[in-house]
Amino acid sequence: MTVAAVTGADGFVGRALMAALPKQGCQPRALVRSGSVDEGSAVGDIGPDTEWGEALSGVDTVIHCAARVHVMKDDAADPLAEFRRVNTEGTRRLAQQAVQIGVKRLVFVSTIKVNGESTPYTSDSGVKFTSLDTPNPGDPYAVSKWEAECCLQEIAAGSSLEVVIVRPPLVYGPGVGGNFCSLIDIVRRGVPLPFGLVDNRRSLVALPNLVDLLTVCAIHPDAAGETFLVSDDDDLSTPELIRRLARALGRDARLLPVPPALLRLAGKLSGNSDKVERLIGSLQVDIRPTCERLDWRPPVTVDEGLRSAVSDA
């Protein structure tokens, strides 16, 4: 049986992954910073000096979920340096010690932000990100993840370690936090939202769909050396997302017909342009190569994923 270690096993993705791995015939091992995950290993803070040796003993595959994640208001004196310490140098250290111990494969949970922040969309056509695009990371988090990918590719080229990279867009599901949780709460309370005239498209990925792909990447022979994009394969406009959330909550969607140009102006004047753009701009990913290479399809629909997310929010 494949022994699969999960870093960040007590996190949003890690917990779901730990529960799903046995269904793929894998024996999961929890790797956490600290705490009391059953039968897990505490490795301390992740960085360039982390000692992974004992935790990786007997492990065949590592799925690396742990990271310093993107935050809206970062109070670090040098955010890029801090992201690099954890996400880039911490990942490099993990891969180097995995090679020394004889781990066969490392699956790295990266981010679609490596590709960029947005894709063009009109009612007639749209452009989707692919894994072959020239990377265009736009903030310290994305830069650190791209640099981590480069480190992994370099280490894999000089060793027998198989590296698999997965770049998800926004992940939602039971226990989701951040802006998505806030949106659920706003829709539940029936607060009117000014997105009735927005015509965009955004790719999302339900937690069960991301976890299912990660478990496949842990064992599929054709995953080695590849970079995969993932989504629900059902891109939604912001108003359609709100309508479907409202339906899942048993509420009416309240959408006001505010022109997107006014929303962008309000964002600029308030210093929230990035936040507004994430709500009214487009970001689409092409998962056809992922599906074809791995003979994979997202097992959960958007509506199933939203119902699961709101039931726990």
| Catalytic residue numbers, as ranges | 141
Q: Is the dihedral of CA 142, 175, 272, 200 positive or negative?
A: positive
Helix (H) or strand (E) segment spanning residue 242 = helix 238-249
Contact 227, 131 (CB under 8 A): yes
Q: Quote the CA–CA distance of 98 and 14 in Å, as a whole number.
A: 19
Alpha carbon of 174 to those of 13, 121, 171, 261: distances in Å? Answer: 10, 30, 10, 34
Q: Is the dihedral of CA 88, 90, 92, 95 positive or negative?
A: negative
- DSSP notation for 152-178: HHHHHHTSS-EEEEEE--EEESTT--H
Q: Quote the CA–CA distance of 110 and 147 in Å, as a whole number.
A: 10
Beta strands 61-64 and 170-172: pairing type? Answer: unpaired
Contact 65, 39 (CB under 8 A): no
